[in-house]
């Protein structure tokens, strides 16, 4: 599942009970509200899925894991 949000995204891959949630925004992963909302919804859904045993949270890009919220 990939939820693309204006130059950024949140995507989930599942395999053998492991859900990997990846997020990205081109401004050093400074996350606007839409991406934060998508990330929260995805974490909540995976946390309540009985088939998910482990959640790995990963940022894409080559810089900062997460620069925090963006208040643009």
Q: What is the pLDDT of residues 11-59, one digit of tens each?
A: 999 999 999 999 988 877 678 888 889 999 999 999 999 999 999 999 8
Give the per-residue pLDDT at 1: 63
Q: How many CA atoms lie within 13 A of 62 on its CB side?
A: 0
Give the per-residue pLDDT at 7: 81
H/E element, 42: helix 33-48
Give the per-residue pLDDT at 56: 96
Give the per-residue pLDDT at 61: 79
Residue 61 burial (CB count, 10 A): 14
Give the per-residue pLDDT at 22: 94
């Amino acid at each position: 599942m990939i939820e693309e949000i204006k130059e950024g995204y949140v995507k989930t891959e599942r395999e053998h009970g492991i859900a990997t949630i990846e997020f990205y925004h081109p401004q050093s992963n400074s996350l606007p509200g839409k991406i934060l909302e998508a990330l929260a919804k995805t974490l909540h859904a995976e946390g309540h899925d009985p088939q998910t045993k482990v959640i790995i949270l990963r940022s894409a890009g080559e810089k900062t894991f997460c620069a925090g919220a963006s208040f643009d």
